[in-house]
Structure 1
Amino acid sequence: MHDWWRNSVTYQIYPRSFQDSTGNGIGDLAGITSRLEHVASLGVDAIWLSPVFTSPMADMGYDVSDYTDIDPLFGTLADFDALLARAHGLGLKVIVDQVISHSSDQHPHFIESRSSHDNPFADWYVWVDPNPDGSPPNNWVSVFGGSAWEWDARRRQYYLHNFLTSQPDFNFHNRDVQDWHLANMRFWLERGVDGFRLDTVNFYFHDQKLRSNPPDPRNAVVPKVNPYDMQDHLYSKNRPENLPFLERLRALTDGYPGRAMVGEVGESRRAGEITAQYTAGNSRLHMAYSFDMLGPEFTAAHFRQKIEGFYAAAPDGCPCWSFSNHDVIRHVSRWADHGEPDALAKQVIAMLAGFQGSLCIYQGEELGQTETDILYSELTDPPGFKFWPDYKGRDGCRTPMVWDDSVQAGFTTGTPWLPIKPPQRARNIAAQAAGSVLEAYRETLAFRRDTPALRHGKTQFLNLPEPVLGFLRDDLLCLFNLSTAPVSLVLGGAATAVGPTQLADLTGNALQLGANGFAFLRGASDARVG
């Protein structure tokens, strides 16, 4: 099916932390292959692999030094081919991360680019002269803190880096750069991958006039950790030149039936507007990966606003909703004030399954996994070192998968690259019995797969007060109590519960929802608190 991606469910695998097959404490491709039956048992449609390409690992693979080979930490191209074949044999599509906005500073092209002003790759990265006083050309800042400009003594110029100084940005205004990246992506399409997750898709182009960003009026107070969001990033990213390049990417994937692209839109101010632009029609991205639900907000109004806002801007677009990934605090911990961990985890997958659009779940979510408390001595993540202790980095959500209750949780026979601590090991897969979070994920995703209203139905929200989120997907009424206190609802007619429920007592047209209670109902098209 060529449009398999529409309303699909993708499972994100962080390769370093999924399964180690060699005993070196780092997950790898062979390890992933050995565990794919678990992923398939969840009832997902695809897996997304975070980067496995050759890299010095300054940012755990998001700094690529060879776009057409596998890093030896993870294995070989033959191991990748074996993973691809096994996934396809289990009915799973495979999406690979493409980090093309920047490379590693160890990439041969950057090494040559910085060597002189007149080499073949001199204009492949963003180089600028200093101001007369020696300062950078403008006020652009890095996502990881500090200026987005780094002085290079060899070229006696600044180069742009939106992330680490070791992640120089490509100059996409150079057509040769675009063509080269398209050729690299064609390599993986020819190898049989089913699509791409495009990292930082709105960062590709910069303003050629190098204008300074204005302040973001919403963020006038100096933040505790990083002032990045104090700017409105009009000129350092989100440029209109991105759109024609996305059309080139779409034309490439359209040449391979059944392939898809999902773009990560890293933006806080105009995320809805940008994702709508990037998915409009049939000539740009297939899906846009949303950051809208990766923050602390856990209210009915917030979820409603984000979903309605997307479809108002892009009625024919396809969002990809997610509650956790490798960059944010796991949602069971992030939303801990809103429910007991298991009850919250079961409610959250039911709610996500009810949302219109495609979905992405992050490894360990299916166990109700919590954030690991990382000590300074255990850190590996660069932002953690920079902003400690107010921000501990992203290691806490990246700790290894827990397969059993052994010391290293079945992940490795060696010392894991990040610690496996007792609170996380207690949620191991082998311990997930009847009534567990894992069982709830399997039941809920099967219900979504077998229910046309949840795969294809339009959404109509009910005007219910907090803390109740209610909406119709065609004829299916979906109700969620987003609090730890019970609520009583009066339905607009007698109804029947279908699919998974939690702390829901239905008598006639009266519905009681307990803490984190939820229900899917047929026979009623409205509800009110009463």
Structure 2
Amino acid sequence: MKDWWRGAVTYQVYPRSFQDSNDDGVGDLPGITRRLDHLAQLGVDAVWLSPFFKSPMKDMGYDVSDYCDVDPVFGTLADFDALVGRAHALGLKVIIDQVLSHTSDQHPAFAESRSSRVNPKSDWYVWADPWYDGTPPNNWLSVFGGPAWTWDARRKQYYLHNFLASQPDLNYHNPEVQDWALGNMRFWLDRGVDGFRFDTVNYFFHDPMLRDNPADYRVKTEPEANPYGMQYHLFSKNQPENLAWMERIRCLLDEYGAASVGEMGESHHAIRMMGEYTAPGRLHQCYSFELMGYDYSPGFFRDRIEGFFRGAPDGWPMWAFSNHDVVRHVSRWLPYGESPEVLAKQAAALLLSFEGSICLWQGEELGQTDTALDFEELTDPQGIAFWPEPVGRDNTRTPMVWDASPHGGFSRVKPWLPVKPEQAARHVEGQTGAQGSVLEHYRALLAFRKTSQALRSGRSRFLDLDEPLLGFVRGEGEGALLCLFNLSTVARVVTVSGVGTAVGPSVHAVAEGERLRLGPNAAVFLPVTGEVIVTD
């Protein structure tokens, strides 16, 4: 199906943490292949694989040294081909990461570029002379702390890195770099992948004049733990040339009928930019970190969903509550939950009812929580640099828990990150077939979404309700659904007219005569039969 991605549900796999098949404590491609049946039984449409390419692993694979090969810790190209074959046999699409805004400093192209100012790849990266006092050319900051510039004695110049110093930024103002990146994509498309997730999709281009970023216009009363958030990144990213580059990428993808999703790494105008990047002829869909914060209010969710489609009626979002870079949403929103399990069920119903495509983070279907790690257990450079706050990324990346055996069935040896008791208690084997489990709730919701045209592609119309109630109608005419939620731990009783009897999986919602009792963290789907009115 040409537009299979529209309204689809994708499951993100972090290869290091999904399944170890060779007893080295690190997950790998054969391990993922072994566990693909779980994803098919869960009911998702696609699997997204975080980076598995050759890398020195300074940033756990997001520093690539060879874009067309598998790192030995994860397996071989033959293992990758077997994974794709098995996924397709199960009816799953395969999306892989493309980390193209920067490379590893161990990539051959960077070794050549830094060797002199006159060589075939001298302009493949972003180089700049120092000021006369030897300082960097501007005030740009690295996401991972400190200046975004590192001195290189070979060229007697600074090179740009928006992340680690071992992740130099490519110069996309050079057409050769764009052609090279398209070649990397074609390599994997020829191997049968169904699409790409583009890392930091708004970081490709920089201001060629290297102008200073201004201070964040949102005034800070005190310094942030990471000073990166104190700038308005007007010139170091988000350049207009990015959009033309998205159009070049789309042309390649259209040759293969492949899909795309971009990660919008932006805290100022993310919803608007998601729309710009998914305009016709650009990316198919885009996600941001907008729904991965600590706000769990009806007004917040309504503002983001309505805001996207109001600003980009022809664009398409992918919504996610968690991923490998943020605190798991059950941990973030626990103050709003009766219990982790009930909150996990409501969040699942909420996310899977949103207009757009959906991305689930591994372990989310178990109601998994973040792992409290000691400093000595960390591997994440961001977590180490800013300890103890903000919380690092290792806390969400701990291994998937499959059963009650040591290390959760992830490995027979000590894993690269620990499986602690709180996480070990939530495992696939224990929840499979268990009535009322979070896993079975996800399976039921995903099956329900697949049978509902309204949930997969219907437009949204929000109702004006008092908080903590959130309600919206998906679709028009026959099959339209009212999605109704109580985003609090205090029960509410409402009267709902213009609807039939509840359908699909619900949470703490019970009909009481002509009224509907919405218990703590309630979620319910009601078929629309007329004009929908909800009153207290």
**Match of 1:322?**
320
**Match of 1:49?**
49
Aligned 8 A contact 1:385 1:392 in 2:
no
Select the residue among 496, 500, 505 that pairs with 1:491. 496
**1:103-502 equivalences in 2 (<5 Å):** 103-257=103-257, 259-281=258-280, 283-339=281-337, 340-432=339-431, 433-474=434-475, 475-493=480-498, 495-502=500-507
Do residues 92 (structure 1) and 92 (structure 2) align?
A: yes
Residues 197-241 of structure 1: CA distance to partner in whole angstroms, max 9, x if unpaired?
Answer: 000000000000101111121142334411212211111000000
Long gaps (5+) in structure 1: none
Identity of aligned residues (%): 62
Aligned 8 A contact 2:148 2:161 in 1:
yes
User: Distance in 2 between the 1:173 and 1:85 partners?
Assistant: 37
Shift of 1:492: 2.4
Shift of 1:391: 2.6
Aligned residue type for 1:50: S
User: Distance in 1 between the 2:29 and 2:86 partners?
Assistant: 11
Aligned 8 A contact 2:96 2:195 in 1:
yes
Question: For this pair of structures, how many residues does the alignment match?
Answer: 528
Aligned 8 A contact 1:12 1:362 in 2:
yes
User: Distance in 1 between the 2:219 and 2:379 partners?
Assistant: 29
User: Distance in 2 between the 1:494 and 1:336 partners?
Assistant: 31
**Match of 2:532?**
526
User: Distance in 2 between the 1:493 and 1:187 partners?
Assistant: 53
Shift of 1:98: 0.1
Aligned 8 A contact 2:402 2:408 in 1:
yes
Aligned 8 A contact 1:477 1:524 in 2:
no
TM-score (norm: length of structure 2): 0.97
Structure 1 SS opposite 2:454: helix
Which aligned segments of 4 or more residues in structure 1 are displaced greater than 6 angstroms?
none
User: Distance in 2 between the 1:412 and 1:187 partners?
Assistant: 32
User: Distance in 1 between the 2:231 and 2:246 partners?
Assistant: 25
Aligned residue type for 1:24: D
User: Distance in 2 between the 1:490 and 1:524 partners?
Assistant: 14
Aligned 8 A contact 2:499 2:526 in 1:
no
Aligned 8 A contact 1:287 1:320 in 2:
yes
Aligned 8 A contact 1:472 1:525 in 2:
no
User: Distance in 1 between the 2:57 and 2:221 partners?
Assistant: 34
User: Distance in 2 between the 1:138 and 1:444 partners?
Assistant: 50
Aligned 8 A contact 1:12 1:49 in 2:
yes
Aligned 8 A contact 2:406 2:412 in 1:
no
User: Distance in 2 between the 1:504 and 1:95 partners?
Assistant: 36
Aligned 8 A contact 1:25 1:416 in 2:
yes
Aligned residue type for 1:118: V
Aligned residue type for 2:532: D
User: Distance in 2 between the 1:509 and 1:459 partners?
Assistant: 26
TM-score (norm: length of structure 1): 0.98
After superposing the two structures, state which structure 1 stretch, 289-298 or 320-329, moved more.
289-298
Aligned 8 A contact 1:494 1:508 in 2:
no
User: Distance in 2 between the 1:231 and 1:224 partners?
Assistant: 11
Structure 2 SS opposite 1:350: helix
Residues 257-313 of structure 1: CA distance to partner in whole angstroms, max 9, x if unpaired?
Answer: 2x10100010011112211111111x1000001211011111100100000010011
User: Distance in 1 between the 2:9 and 2:335 partners?
Assistant: 27
**Match of 2:60?**
60
User: Distance in 2 between the 1:20 and 1:250 partners?
Assistant: 35
